[in-house]
Amino acid sequence: MAASSAKSFATSAASVQVRRTTQTIEHFCRPLEGDEPLRLAFIHCKPGETEKHPNEHPNEEEQHRLYKVHGLAPWFWQKMPQEASGFFGTRDHPDPSRKELQYHTTTLRLLIKMAGTMDASELKDEHKGVPYGWSEIGVFTRWQPDGRVTVLVQCDDRPEIIDAIKQLHLDTFLAQCQKDPYAIHALILDQLVKEFDDSVWSWRKWVREFEKGRKLGIKNLASDGNDESTTKDKESATAVARSPDPDYERMHEVARHIIHCTEMLATAINVVKSVIEEHNIFLEDNEDIMKDAKWESRNVSKDLRMRKSFLEGFHLRSKALEERLKNEVNLAFAIVSQHDSKVSVQIAEAAQSDSASTKTIQFLGLIFLPSTFICSLFSTSFFTLQPAIDMNGTQGPANNLGPDKIPTYWMMSERFWIYWAFALPLTAFTVLIWSIWQNYSRLRHPTLSDVVPWLIKLKAMLHPRSAKREAALKAANEIEMHGRPPYNGREEV
């Protein structure tokens, strides 16, 4: 049996070698020769690349031939099914003369999103995106009650997928496929389940990198694990640790891909559910044909349910990755906020220290200000010392002696009132202007003040009627908030 399987597998490997699409379809549509139980073919064409690689996509004539010979509907090659994330469909083709099942066809498509890998230098580059790729597979099967099977696979040119599907030629799998048309899907789904498992683990690695480098950010993860990192790199990492800089853009990019991965898994679960449901319907509708395949059909049902349970577990794992990454994003925000709070506290402490110094200077100024004012006042020309020799003797006795022992008089000008006449009103006017400006600035937006016309500002500060001042101030605030006047330009504020 082993020798027969090896010989059959070697023969099939030669018969399913990669050809151009036209040659593949030409071979696939030939009648089955003699006792040939299985016809397997691969087409490597991707959706959306019809114009780029026209020879790799079936043309209308080839699509019509596939439908005429095998029952593969042309809609399978249309844009919507080719770009769908997943679907499954079946069709029974009866024999018009005998009113019995002539053959049973199925179509299946699934899409898988895989994460790429990055080296250390790319991990440090914050401008680098997250590498990823799509793995897709479309399968058409035709099963005849006499045990003949034809399978057309549209997939990427990946050896692991092709080699896994080629196992249909092995005697063990071939016997099951001849008995039950859905044994083919059990084998193919077995490989696809592995692909989905790899997909989830590939995205899990990215989430784990974020978790391991939550304090330094993903840009420095590579240097953290490298024993040969330079002193400069270590100093840089320490600096980043002191000032956290998470790579939010890359985090959200990974989150987007994981959401896609979760979607693909949910779609795959629905597809497998459809396969199980259609398998049960097929068994019920064709009891007479399937009566000799009781055990094979039962095992196929069990295999399909097992694949579904695997996918459900992967789906939960993918949902958990979403939550873990969401937790990392929230933690990154919290770490940055905490760091900013600490910096704000340090700034406040520094400002408090500066404030203490300023208060000291203000206190010293307060001490010397009265004496400075007195000195400034008495040093004006309103106060003078005149020698007694210059006086006519009517001023009374000299009140002091100068440095040359000459009697002097301390004289105050009779126009000293001029000083107060100017000083007091000017001081009052300055205080008034400061008070008005403070009242306006209290509600003034710091970044949009330039958009307020000066006329409105002046009215808000200087209008004699308080109601008009309040209306002008409200209008100025509206302009600063909305960038336009809330009233007609002709209307008086």
DSSP string, 400-455: EE-TTS-EEEEEE-TTTHHHHHHHHHHHHHHHHHHHHHHHHHTT--TTTGGGS-HH
CA pseudo-torsion sign 230, 232, 238, 244 = negative
Least confident piece of the model among 15-29, 138-152, 445-459: 445-459
**Residue 271 has what pLDDT?**
96
Q: Which residues contact 491 (CB under 8 A, 6 or more apart)?
A: none
The verdict on residue 204 lying in a domain is: yes
Distance CA 447, CA 450 (A): 8
Residue at a domain's end among 297, 312, 344 = 344
Q: Exposed, middle or buried, 148 (CB in 10 Å: 0-12/13-18/19+)?
A: middle
**Residue 282 has what pLDDT?**
93
Nearest to 336 by CA among 436, 204, 216: 216
CB contact burial 419-431 (16+ within 10 A = b; e otherwise): eeeeeeeeeeeee
**Residue 373 has what pLDDT?**
84
How does pLDDT run across 86-125, given as a tens digit for each residue?
999 999 998 877 778 899 999 999 999 988 876 655 555 5
- Judgement on whether residues 320 and 442 belong to the same structural domain of the protein: no
The verdict on residue 371 lying in a domain is: no
pLDDT above 70 covers what percent of the chain? 74
The verdict on residue 233 lying in a domain is: no
What number of residues does the chain have?
A: 493
Distance CA 37, CA 177 (A): 10
| pTM, two decimal places | 0.64
The verdict on residue 382 lying in a domain is: no
How does pLDDT run across 51-61, given as a tens digit for each residue?
555 556 788 88
- How far, in Å, are 23, 40, 196, 283 from residue 140 at the CA level? 18, 10, 21, 19
- Judgement on whether residues 126 and 16 belong to the same structural domain of the protein: yes
Nearest to 312 by CA among 259, 266, 252: 266
The stretch 15-33 carries a mean pLDDT of 69
The answer to whether residue 139 scores a pLDDT higher than 80 is: yes
pLDDT-derived band of residue 149, with 50, 70 and 90 as boundaries?
very high
Two structure tokens written together for 239:
């600096």
Q: Which strands sit side by side in the sheet containing 86-95, from one edge to the other?
A: 38-43, 149-155, 132-143, 100-115, 86-95
- Judgement on whether residues 33 and 146 belong to the same structural domain of the protein: yes
- Judgement on whether residues 184 and 286 belong to the same structural domain of the protein: yes
Structural domain containing residue 478 = 416-493
- Judgement on whether residues 252 and 168 belong to the same structural domain of the protein: yes
- Judgement on whether residues 40 and 175 belong to the same structural domain of the protein: yes
Distance CA 429, CA 45 (A): 86
**Residue 446 has what pLDDT?**
44
If one compares 357 and 262, the residue with the highest pLDDT of the two is 262
Least confident piece of the model among 91-100, 110-119, 155-164, 468-477: 468-477
- Judgement on whether residues 53 and 175 belong to the same structural domain of the protein: yes
**Residue 90 has what pLDDT?**
94
Residue at a domain's end among 288, 311, 344 = 344
- Judgement on whether residues 95 and 180 belong to the same structural domain of the protein: yes
Asked if 6 and 30 count as a contact pair (C-beta separation under 8 A), the reply is: no
**Residue 445 has what pLDDT?**
45
- Judgement on whether residues 338 and 487 belong to the same structural domain of the protein: no
Nearest to 72 by CA among 108, 35, 31, 32: 108
The verdict on residue 299 lying in a domain is: yes
Number of neighbouring beta carbons within 10 Å of residue 43:
21
The verdict on residue 356 lying in a domain is: no
- Judgement on whether residues 39 and 149 belong to the same structural domain of the protein: yes
Could you give the 3-state DSSP secondary structure of residue 456?
helix
Least confident piece of the model among 27-41, 71-85, 109-123, 267-281: 109-123
The verdict on residue 349 lying in a domain is: no
Number of neighbouring beta carbons within 10 Å of residue 77:
22
Two structure tokens written together for 167:
């196992």
- Judgement on whether residues 330 and 440 belong to the same structural domain of the protein: no
The domain total for the chain is 2
DSSP 321-384: HHHHHHHHHHHHHHHHHHHHHHHHHHHHHHHHHHHHHHHHHHHHHHHHHHHHHHHHHHTSTTEE
Least confident piece of the model among 1-15, 217-231, 307-321: 1-15
- How far, in Å, are 93, 265, 433, 441 from residue 456 at the CA level? 84, 63, 16, 13
Compute the mean pLDDT over every residue in the chain, rounded to the nearest whole number.
78
pLDDT-derived band of residue 488, with 50, 70 and 90 as boundaries?
very low
Q: Exposed, middle or buried, 58 (CB in 10 Å: 0-12/13-18/19+)?
A: buried
The verdict on residue 392 lying in a domain is: no
- Judgement on whether residues 211 and 328 belong to the same structural domain of the protein: yes
Could you give the 3-state DSSP secondary structure of residue 132?
strand
Residue at a domain's end among 344, 373, 391 = 344
pLDDT-derived band of residue 483, with 50, 70 and 90 as boundaries?
low
Asked if 262 and 318 count as a contact pair (C-beta separation under 8 A), the reply is: yes
The answer to whether residue 326 scores a pLDDT higher than 70 is: yes
If one compares 221 and 335, the residue with the highest pLDDT of the two is 335
